[in-house]
């Protein structure tokens, strides 16, 4: 099984004998996932909506570092637990209560799949001369096949994309700098707090949106992998890739005028040249989008399975079931892409900012629980038992989550809703800051009262973090004691 290309596991624990790789794999994966056209558009939005060049770059960097740090803390959970990201939410929200953030996560995957398909469809349509609609359909099918193959091909794709896309961005950067007066562009540095916070929110939301699935791609790393190494390689890959792409987008938006808006792919390719060069750049754009869209599809599959098994039990998914779940994500995302492709740019901006309101509270609750309250120790068998340690529904965590959502709305600014406290702040959107601080404090206070020390962390590890030959039996006995039942199903 360890040597199989097609992945067989889904939300079950990855046993030690199947672990492989090094923390550096997180750098190449997240570098490749961020060196792509949608990240460029995200950076461009900071200027399109009124920001200047210098402070947009600074704001984007601040958001990438802060949001990337939160995202990388989630990544570091993967080697320790050997689980996909969202199943650990059962420890905070309950085995069934975790469906609340999970539903929102699935919506996120579909939205990102759709937005990525719009831009990738333009590239594939140009490359094949079939047009954007067939391009979207072809791209969706390739994405689905690679997501079905799973973990190994995802990391291989990340390694290839990180090299090819980096070379393409270097080339495009040189071409752009030869066309513009960089000194004149960088003189645009009039600080405006609302625009600075907008840029920061765009990049922070970009990074925080990775949080619900980042551990999916680190869970096969050996359990002995350093938490610090996983954190820093993930942060460096995602922050470098995103800032690189977003900075390119800022410079393009500041110098292209209306030529960029509405034809993002065509304009970027036009920077590189025509003929064979253009074809290669269309391929690179499609490759970059393929990397991230496979992550979205694979993560969506994991989230759907986690939601369903919370109610019906079981963790074993057949190859046919795996294909069906992935097809659901692929079809839904493609439908949204085809329906919204003509109003992509502004819709995508609102989508990013609105997502931030839902995922910052989840990140805060998950990280406070894992690192501060549970001390990186979860009873893994109980994560599958609604009658066990974590229960079916944990109303205190769900209440904190709801309060955090409500607390953000007065500070939220989008085209379809603007909170009453946005205007007094000069139009600045600080909802994401509220969404991190409020649930972290509330959950820290409530969670510490109900927290009990966890004896079992994972199969193969005892309460001291050391393994011995009796670990599986110890895990069973501990789960029995915690749930009050005579038998327990141990995570493989």
**The domain that contains 83 carries what CATH number?**
1.10.4160.10
Work out the average pLDDT over 6-32: 90
pLDDT computed for residue 482 by the predictor: 31
Q: Kindly report the pTM of this predicted structure.
A: 0.86
pLDDT at 237 over 90: yes
Task: Report which of residues 3 and 116 the model is more confident about.
Answer: 116
Total domain count, the chain: 1
Lowest mean pLDDT of 16-30, 259-273, 325-339, name the range. Answer: 259-273
pLDDT computed for residue 468 by the predictor: 37
pLDDT computed for residue 314 by the predictor: 63
Give which of 41, 108, 26 is closest to 344, Cα–Cα: 41
> Are the C-beta atoms of residues 283 and 146 closer than 8 Å to each other?
no
Percent of the chain past pLDDT 90, that is, above it, reads: 43
Q: What is the pLDDT of residues 174-197, one digit of tens each?
A: 999 998 888 888 887 788 888 898
pLDDT computed for residue 56 by the predictor: 94
CA dist., res. 400 & res. 65, Å (int)? 26
User: Which residues are CB-neighbours of 480 under 8 A, at least 6 positions away?
Assistant: 486, 487, 488
167 within a domain of the structure (yes/no): yes
> Are the C-beta atoms of residues 380 and 491 closer than 8 Å to each other?
yes
Here the tokens at position 145 are 């096949």
374 within a domain of the structure (yes/no): no
Domain that holds residue 235: 16-343
Work out the average pLDDT over 83-104: 90
| Residue located via tokens 């190994």 | 152
pLDDT band at 458 (very low <50, low <70, confident <90, very high): very low
CA distances from 153 to 160, 162, 329 (A): 10, 14, 19
CA distances from 209 to 253, 355, 363, 415 (A): 24, 7, 10, 20
166 within a domain of the structure (yes/no): yes
pLDDT computed for residue 477 by the predictor: 35
> Are the C-beta atoms of residues 337 and 113 closer than 8 Å to each other?
yes
45 within a domain of the structure (yes/no): yes
CA dist., res. 147 & res. 257, Å (int)? 37
pLDDT band at 157 (very low <50, low <70, confident <90, very high): very high
pLDDT band at 417 (very low <50, low <70, confident <90, very high): confident
Angle at 362 between CA 240 and CA 60, to 5 degrees: 30
294 within a domain of the structure (yes/no): yes
CA dist., res. 67 & res. 87, Å (int)? 21
58 within a domain of the structure (yes/no): yes
CA distances from 172 to 271, 305, 382, 490 (A): 7, 41, 51, 52
**Mean pLDDT score across all residues of the chain:** 84
pLDDT at 486 over 60: no
441 within a domain of the structure (yes/no): no
pLDDT at 24 over 90: yes
CA dist., res. 29 & res. 412, Å (int)? 32
Give which of 268, 280, 344, 335 is closest to 133, Cα–Cα: 335
406 within a domain of the structure (yes/no): no
Q: Is 376 exposed, middle or buried (0-12, 13-18, 19+ CB in 10 A)?
A: middle
Work out the average pLDDT over 21-27: 95
Task: Report which of residues 468 and 183 the model is more confident about.
Answer: 183
């Amino acid at each position: 099984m360890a040597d199989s290309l097609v992945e067989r596991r889904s939300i079950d624990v990855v046993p030690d004998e199947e672990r492989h790789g090094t923390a550096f794999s997180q750098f190449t994966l997240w570098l490749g996932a961020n060196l792509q056209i949608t990240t460029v558009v995200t950076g461009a939005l900071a200027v399109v909506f009124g920001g200047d060049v210098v402070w947009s770059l600074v704001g984007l960097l601040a958001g990438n570092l802060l949001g990337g740090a939160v995202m990388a803390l989630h990544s570091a959970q993967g080697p320790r637990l050997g689980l996909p990201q969202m199943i650990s939410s059962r420890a905070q929200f309950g085995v069934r209560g975790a469906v609340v953030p999970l539903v929102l996560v699935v919506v996120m995957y579909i939205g990102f799949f759709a937005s990525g398909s719009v831009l990738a469809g333009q590239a594939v349509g140009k490359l094949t001369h079939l047009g954007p609609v067939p391009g979207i359909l072809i791209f969706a099918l390739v994405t689905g096949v690679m997501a079905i193959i799973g973990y190994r091909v995802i990391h291989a794709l990340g390694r290839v994309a990180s090299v090819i896309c980096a070379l393409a961005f270097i080339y495009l950067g040189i071409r752009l700098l030869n066309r513009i007066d960089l000194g004149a562009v960088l003189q645009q540095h009039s600080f405006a707090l609302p625009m600075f916070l907008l840029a920061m929110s765009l990049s922070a939301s970009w990074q925080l949106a990775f949080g619900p699935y980042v551990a999916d791609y680190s869970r096969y790393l050996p359990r002995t992998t350093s938490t610090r190494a996983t954190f820093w390689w993930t942060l460096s890959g995602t922050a470098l890739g995103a800032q690189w792409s977003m900075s390119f987008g800022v410079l393009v938006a500041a110098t292209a005028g209306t030529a960029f808006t509405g034809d993002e792919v065509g304009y970027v390719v036009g920077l590189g040249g025509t003929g064979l060069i253009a074809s290669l750049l269309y391929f690179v754009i499609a490759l970059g989008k393929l990397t991230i869209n496979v992550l979205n599809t694979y993560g969506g599959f994991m989230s759907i399975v986690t939601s369903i098994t919370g109610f019906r039990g079981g963790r074993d998914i057949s190859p046919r079931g795996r294909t069906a779940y992935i097809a659901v994500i692929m079809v839904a995302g493609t439908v949204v892409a085809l329906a919204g492709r003509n109003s992509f740019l502004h819709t995508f901006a609102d989508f990013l900012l609105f997502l931030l309101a839902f995922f910052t509270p989840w990140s805060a609750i998950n990280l406070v629980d894992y690192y501060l309250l549970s001390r990186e120790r979860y009873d893994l068998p109980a994560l599958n038992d609604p009658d066990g340690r974590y229960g079916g529904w944990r109303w205190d965590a769900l209440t904190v989550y709801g309060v955090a959502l409500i607390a953000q709305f007065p500070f939220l600014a989008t085209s379809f809703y603007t909170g009453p406290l946005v205007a007094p702040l000069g139009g600045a959107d600080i909802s994401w800051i509220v969404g991190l601080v409020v649930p972290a404090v509330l959950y820290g206070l409530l969670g510490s009262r109900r927290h009990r020390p966890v004896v079992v962390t994972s199969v193969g590890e005892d309460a001291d973090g050391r393994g011995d030959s009796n670990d599986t039996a110890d895990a069973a006995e501990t789960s029995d004691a915690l749930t009050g039942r005579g038998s327990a199903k141990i995570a493989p």
